[in-house]
């Protein structure tokens, strides 16, 4: 409680300004989880290699502060992609890994956040993943695996010999989600899309928050963007704190947290609109949202929202099919038929024949 009191005034708020100012004002050992995706627009003012070194140096200062404010049982999740310039690629996690170690933090996982879609490269393989580095402050860290289990693939598998013969050999509560995650990117028709170009999906943040904090713990995002980490922490009965220097994004974060329409009946995204209507019983067609594509919003019941394991299975299927097709090409065999071509697959059908 004393630790919480030290954060009074900053708790459950997004500070509009530079995160270095906020971090400098936080006491040692005062937050339980830091989850963030830092900006990596390196600018064009310097020759790119120097810009990259300056960027890493600036980020090192932020991460040293993050490490200082993290509690002894705390975790930090740092999500980054790649820096690319004129065909040259620097996967940023490779550069961040030693920086986090030099802050005295201990690596736990390098999580691959995979996607099915993205830009199609012409002179190299198309990029289909980013990474999330998970580090802890000590070896005594919070990890609630049971809170984030996902369905087992073979749910009826049993021990076939020994004392446990006939008993289930897998945990009926589900399996560890592993370190390849496939949360759909917040783009186009995603319910959570605001005007921000690179939002976290809320479910992905929820997995991190549930696994590494308990109710009432404090979650910090130094680069809040449009407030995804704040919204998730609040919805899961955690406290939050963070900064966003862009006034427009900060305003959107506040609107998402308030969950109310503006004076013109507009919400920052479809999710906030639907949540509001479900809470108040009002009809969705009365309102609009900032990134609206269609003529009017629809109820959530009419939306196709799949859980992460659906997308993961779909991606596994597709990769399996592409490899089988490539193997057939190499051997001069007929290509297998993709029954999922143009979205034709029905539940329970084999992927290819």
The interface with ligand SAM within residues 236-265 (CB under 6 A) comprises: 243-246, 249
In Å, the largest CA–CA distance within the chain is 71
Report the C-alpha gap between 7 and 25 in whole angstroms: 9
Query: How many residues lie near ligand SAM (CB under 6 A)?
Result: 17
> Which residue's CB is nearer to ligand SAM, number 240 or number 249?
249
Give strand ranges (E) for 42-142.
Answer: 70-80, 82-85, 88-91, 106-114, 129-136
Helix (H, G, I), strand (E, B) or coil at 152: coil
Report the C-alpha gap between 272 and 304 in whole angstroms: 17
Q: Does 339 bind ligand SAM (CB under 6 A)?
A: no
Q: Find the shortest distance in angstroms from Cβ 33 to ligand SAM.
A: 14
Q: Does 223 bind ligand SAM (CB under 6 A)?
A: yes
Q: Does 39 bind ligand SAM (CB under 6 A)?
A: yes
Name the segment binding ligand SAM (CB under 6 A); options: 115-123, 130-138, 194-202, 306-314: 194-202
Q: Does 33 bind ligand SAM (CB under 6 A)?
A: no
- Is residue 267 within 8 A of residue 289, CB to CB? The reply is yes
Q: Does 85 bind ligand SAM (CB under 6 A)?
A: no
In the block, tokens 């004392």 appear at 163
- Is residue 65 within 8 A of residue 74, CB to CB? The reply is no
Report the C-alpha gap between 315 and 175 in whole angstroms: 19
Q: Find the shortest distance in angstroms from Cβ 224 to ligand SAM.
A: 6
Q: Does 226 bind ligand SAM (CB under 6 A)?
A: yes
Four-point Cα dihedral 186, 187, 188, 191, nearest 10: 10
Q: Does 83 bind ligand SAM (CB under 6 A)?
A: no
Q: Does 269 bind ligand SAM (CB under 6 A)?
A: no
Q: Find the shortest distance in angstroms from Cβ 192 to ligand SAM.
A: 9
Report the C-alpha gap between 131 and 80 in whole angstroms: 6
Q: Does 18 bind ligand SAM (CB under 6 A)?
A: yes
Name the segment binding ligand SAM (CB under 6 A); options: 138-146, 224-232, 233-241, 342-350: 224-232
Q: Find the shortest distance in angstroms from Cβ 301 to ligand SAM.
A: 26
- Is residue 75 within 8 A of residue 135, CB to CB? The reply is yes
Q: Find the shortest distance in angstroms from Cβ 343 to ligand SAM.
A: 28
Q: Does 182 bind ligand SAM (CB under 6 A)?
A: no
Beta-bridged to residue 136, according to DSSP, are 75, 106
Residues with Cβ < 8 Å from 53, sequence gap 6 or more? none
Residues engaged in binding ligand SAM (CB under 6 A): 18-19, 37, 39, 196, 198-200, 223, 225-226, 228, 243-246, 249
């Amino acid at each position: 409680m004393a630790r919480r009191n030290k954060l009074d005034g900053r708790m459950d708020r997004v500070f509009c300004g530079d995160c270095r100012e906020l971090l400098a004002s936080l006491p040692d050992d005062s937050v339980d989880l830091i989850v963030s995706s830092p900006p990596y627009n390196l600018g064009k003012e310097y020759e790119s290699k120097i810009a990259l070194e300056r960027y890493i140096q600036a980020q090192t200062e932020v991460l040293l502060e993050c490490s200082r404010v993290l509690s002894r049982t705390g975790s930090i999740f740092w999500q980054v992609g790649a820096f690319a310039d004129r065909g040259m690629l620097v996967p940023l996690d490779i550069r961040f890994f030693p920086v986090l170690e030099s802050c005295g933090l201990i690596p736990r996982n390098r999580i691959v956040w995979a996607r099915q879609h993205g830009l199609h490269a012409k002179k190299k393989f198309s990029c289909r993943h980013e990474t999330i580095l998970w580090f802890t402050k000590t070896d005594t860290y919070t990890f609630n695996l049971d809170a984030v289990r996902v369905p087992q693939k073979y749910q009826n598998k049993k021990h076939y010999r020994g004392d446990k013969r006939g008993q289930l050999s897998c945990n009926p509560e589900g399996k560890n989600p592993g370190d390849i995650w496939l949360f759909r990117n917040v783009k186009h028709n995603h319910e959570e899309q605001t005007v921000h170009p690179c939002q976290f999906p809320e479910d992905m943040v929820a997995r991190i928050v549930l696994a590494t904090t308990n109710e009432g713990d404090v979650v910090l995002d130094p680069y809040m963007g449009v407030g995804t980490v704040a919204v998730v922490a609040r919805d899961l009965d955690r406290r939050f704190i963070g900064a966003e220097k862009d006034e427009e994004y900060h305003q959107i974060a506040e609107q998402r947290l308030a969950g109310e329409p503006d004076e013109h009946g507009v919400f920052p995204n479809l999710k906030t609109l639907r949540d509001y209507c479900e809470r108040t019983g009002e009809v969705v067609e009365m309102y609009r949202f900032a990134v609206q594509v269609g003529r009017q919003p629809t109820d959530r019941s009419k939306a196709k929202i799949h859980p992460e394991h659906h997308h993961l299975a779909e991606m596994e299927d597709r990769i399996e099919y592409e490899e089988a097709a490539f193997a057939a090409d190499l051997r001069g065999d007929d290509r297998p038929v993709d029954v999922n071509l143009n979205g034709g697959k029905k539940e329970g059908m084999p992927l290819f024949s």
